Amino acid sequence: MTIVKLGYVAMSVHLTNASPSKTMTFAQFSKIKDRDAAIEKLERISVENLENCLRLLKHNVANDIQFFRFSSKLIPLANHEEVKDWKFMRPLKGILSQIGDYIEENPMRVDFHPDHFVLLNSKKKEIINQTIKTLSMHRSLLKGMRVPTQHRCVLHIGGGYDDRELALEQFIHNFALVPQPIQEMLILENDDTTFHLRDALYVCEKLNVPLVFDYHHHLAHFEEEAEGWEQDWGRVVQTWEHSPLPVKMHISSPRDEKNFRAHADYVDPKMFMDFLQGIKGSVPEIHCMIEAKKKDEALFQLMKELKSYPEIEIIDGASFKIK
């Protein structure tokens, strides 16, 4: 038997006017002639994004959802070179503390997944430096919420740069350049075009970093000679051995056969059950992040559909046991 808890990404389709990703481009910022006024606008947007995060967390608790990924676009222009004098954490202390209070009162797993331009296997020093700055910003937000930072930030390995093996080794080399507190925050996932499950396992085992298994990515891109992901599942679980958190995976479904890599609006319950049948009993608990276009509605729909399977025992609105 395994307990399964479902989560979703960043925003709700059920809450109105609750976007945590309202933004301001540098072009818009530059058009405001009074720089102090421009900074104040950035601060208002950032605080509003975080206030909407708190609304989302309250929505989650009302629906038994204990797993949530924050948007990585909470603080517009946080690391822009032209706004580097902006001490963006100062105006956020109050709302971050409120979010932290709420998480302490209603324990839940929260984390981040920075955008694709956050690359750790580039050969360009400026890209590595920008990546470290961006990851540091994510860590500061977690610290501001008083959320333990270990294993809270998912990254892809990065680009193949025409030599996949060399790109893997470049990631391992560059990882040593990352400050230890940020290293401890990171977890890696297999992707759908370049680095398959065994590539990701190679890096994770070398660096003692947990691996987030993305099932949809694996179906889109896997090692041809591999006998099946189940053969490597024990290795995936092993990467989480020293983590304070349960094993995490990503679940989504293809939009259609032609657009197999694109995410569908909802999760195909049969596809998800195929995965669950392969892992049940291997871990006491697993957290599954739904990466579907319909966000929380995809979670609610999946829970409804899973009720028809006899091996599923519903616990609450967002978790169940598979026997």
pLDDT given for residue 302 in this prediction: 98
- Residue 86 vs residues 42, 113, 115, 182, 185: alpha-carbon distances, Å: 10, 23, 22, 22, 24
Three-state SS at 13: coil
What per-residue confidence (pLDDT) applies to 297? 98
| Alpha-carbon span 302 to 173, nearest angstrom | 41
Judge whether 267 and 298 are in contact, CB under 8 Å.
yes
Task: Name the fold adopted by 2-16+110-322.
Answer: TIM Barrel (3.20.20)
pLDDT of residue 123: 94
Q: What pLDDT score does 120 carry? A: 97
Q: pLDDT of the chain along its 323 residues, tens only?
A: 999 999 999 999 999 999 999 999 999 988 999 998 999 999 999 999 999 999 999 999 999 999 999 999 999 999 888 898 899 999 999 999 999 999 999 999 999 999 888 999 999 999 999 999 999 999 999 999 999 999 999 999 999 999 999 999 999 999 999 999 999 999 999 999 999 999 999 999 999 999 999 999 999 999 877 779 999 999 999 999 999 999 999 999 999 999 999 999 999 999 999 999 999 999 999 999 999 999 999 999 999 999 999 999 999 999 999 99
How far is Cα 55 from Cα 217, in angstroms, rounded to an integer? 31
Identify any residues that bridge with 261 across adjacent strands, giving them in sequence order.
none
3-state secondary structure 210-255: CEEEEHHHHHHCCCCCCCCHHHHHHHHHHHCCCCCCCEEEEECCEC
